[in-house]
Amino acid sequence: MSTEVKVPQVRKNDARQNDVRGNDVPRSDVQHTAPKGVKLPIYMDNHATTPMDPRVLEEMLPFFMEKFGNAASRNHSFGWAGEEGVETARERVAKLVGATTKEIIFTSGATESDNLAIKGVAEMYREKGNHIITAVTEHKAVLDTCKRLEKYGYRVTYLPVQKDGLVNLDDLKRAMDDKTILVTIMAANNEIGVLQPVAEVGKLCRERGIIFHTDATQAVGKVPVDVNTQNIDVMSISAHKMYGPKGVGALYVRRKSPRVQISAIIDGGGHERGMRSGTLNVPGIVGLGKACAIASEEMAQESCKLAGLRNRLRDRIMGRLDEVYLNGSGEHRLPGNLNISFAYVEGESLLMGINDIAVSSGSACTSATLEPSYVLKALGTGDDLAHSSIRFGLGRFNTEAEVDYVADRVIETVERLRELSPLYEMAKEGINLKDVKWAGE
């Protein structure tokens, strides 16, 4: 006897089914009607990048045409105008993180900042030691930089993380030795939004005279970051994760107690106190400055709003679907981050079903390497659940109506795909999937 499962059929966009000649027109996607006040597609991938705030663009515009001068041109008004824009930005960045202006170096973004911090410290303190400590859930900009240094004779310890995604401070203490010159631990994770105990890590480093770098790309502008109270020595900052332009970032380098020195990795005209040569990206830097100024003003309020939206999304989805798992700590987390796994549903097929919503997945199928997310694996999430994960990144411009629409679409698609899933069927029959001998293993 055969049973036909009714899989809800997706409505097609009738308008595009036939062209004027009555031929079938290739259909690239299926269309859903947006509720009132919601414009499709919805962007909810704010850890990948954020849309620019219109106030940032407004601030930048004069620096393309009127104030185009090279900030390093010291002898005419064109140069002075550029320099003024850069120095205002430097003050704004410094203010947001509790630094002084002389401690801010502008770069092309967080990847360059991470490279400069890690390679710059490694080279400068080579005489003192060759050991670096980081964590397995760091961004590739940190991990791959550390891997390269291993080729040059540095020793790197990759700390594991706990089930909640946080590093264990005892593990860190145990890993430190008299050759340790640098600890690099991120402030907030880009996939699971987990906030590391930065102040405590910094304190342990300070006590032992070890330099502490943090990749704060996802944290700055979202949660309070203060280089002094959190004992940070070197810190990477990105503009485009906080409603600023792409291609610009900054590196904080502590000047006092202790004074940190780094070797340059880009040689040239000696810009940025010799730490980063190259003509300054004045409009970009101005944009980063404005983004920081807005964050200084609005972060407290905005993070409350985002946490509210994120919790609403979480509660709606988890209220309607069973076997949905939160990845990473619920408590130590960026307000706009929700990373959850939908058991028995593969992430890429879920993304396909919600193609009017921009989110990302830890599924192997969405990565270039065909490996599921190394961050989720590090938490001890099984590969099966890593394949089923979706990252929602809420941001400044998301609304409650969007959250409700996204929740409904996710629920409907997961239910549809579970009806299609042999794993869901087996689980419902009481088969323990862990006991099955899979042919593909």
Residue 352 beta carbon to other proteins: minimum distance, rounded to whole angstroms = 4
Among the residue ranges 133-141, 153-161, 163-171, 347-355, the one whose residues contact other proteins (CB under 8 A): 347-355
The two most distant CA atoms of the chain are separated, in Å, by 88
Q: How far is CA 280 from each of CA 69, 108, 112, 291, rounded to the nearest angstrom? A: 10, 9, 14, 18
- CB of 184 within 8 A of CB of 118? yes
The pair of three-digit structure tokens given for residue 306, joined into one six-digit string? 């985002």
Strands 249-253 and 234-238: antiparallel
Considering the candidates 146, 205, 292, 365, report the single residue annotated as catalytic.
365
- 365 assigned to active site: yes
* Residue 402 amino acid letter: E
Contacting residue, 370, 430, 432, 435, with other proteins by CB under 8 A: 370
Q: Which is nearer to other proteins, 24 or 170 (CB)?
A: 24
Give the chain's radius of gyration (CA, Å): 24
Q: Which is nearer to other proteins, 13 or 77 (CB)?
A: 13
Q: Which is nearer to other proteins, 164 or 425 (CB)?
A: 425
**Cα 207 from Cα 172, distance rounded (Å):** 13
* Residue 345 amino acid letter: V
Q: Does 48 bind other proteins (CB under 8 A)?
A: no
Q: Does 431 bind other proteins (CB under 8 A)?
A: no
What is the total count of residues that contact other proteins (CB under 8 A)?
Answer: 42
Q: How far is CA 208 from each of CA 176, 177, 201, 263, 348, rounded to the nearest angstrom? A: 9, 9, 11, 22, 46
Q: Does 349 bind other proteins (CB under 8 A)?
A: yes
* Length, in residues, of the chain: 441
Q: Does 400 bind other proteins (CB under 8 A)?
A: no
65-104 footprint of other proteins as x/- string (CB under 8 A): ----------------------------------------
The pair of three-digit structure tokens given for residue 181, joined into one six-digit string? 């010159």
**Cα 182 from Cα 118, distance rounded (Å):** 8
Among the residue ranges 77-85, 147-155, 312-320, 340-348, the one whose residues contact other proteins (CB under 8 A): 340-348
Task: From 330, 113, 337, select the one nearest 219 (Cα to Cα).
Answer: 337
* Residue 346 amino acid letter: E
Among the residue ranges 196-204, 209-217, 297-305, 365-373, the one whose residues contact other proteins (CB under 8 A): 365-373
Q: Does 224 bind other proteins (CB under 8 A)?
A: no
28-47 footprint of other proteins as x/- string (CB under 8 A): xxx-----------------
Phi, psi of 369, deg, nearest 5: -95, -10
Residue 14 beta carbon to other proteins: minimum distance, rounded to whole angstroms = 14
Which residue ranges make up the site for other proteins (CB under 8 A)?
1-5, 7, 9-10, 12, 26-30, 344-346, 348-349, 352-353, 363-365, 370, 372, 382-384, 387, 419-425, 433, 438-441
- Known catalytic residues are 365
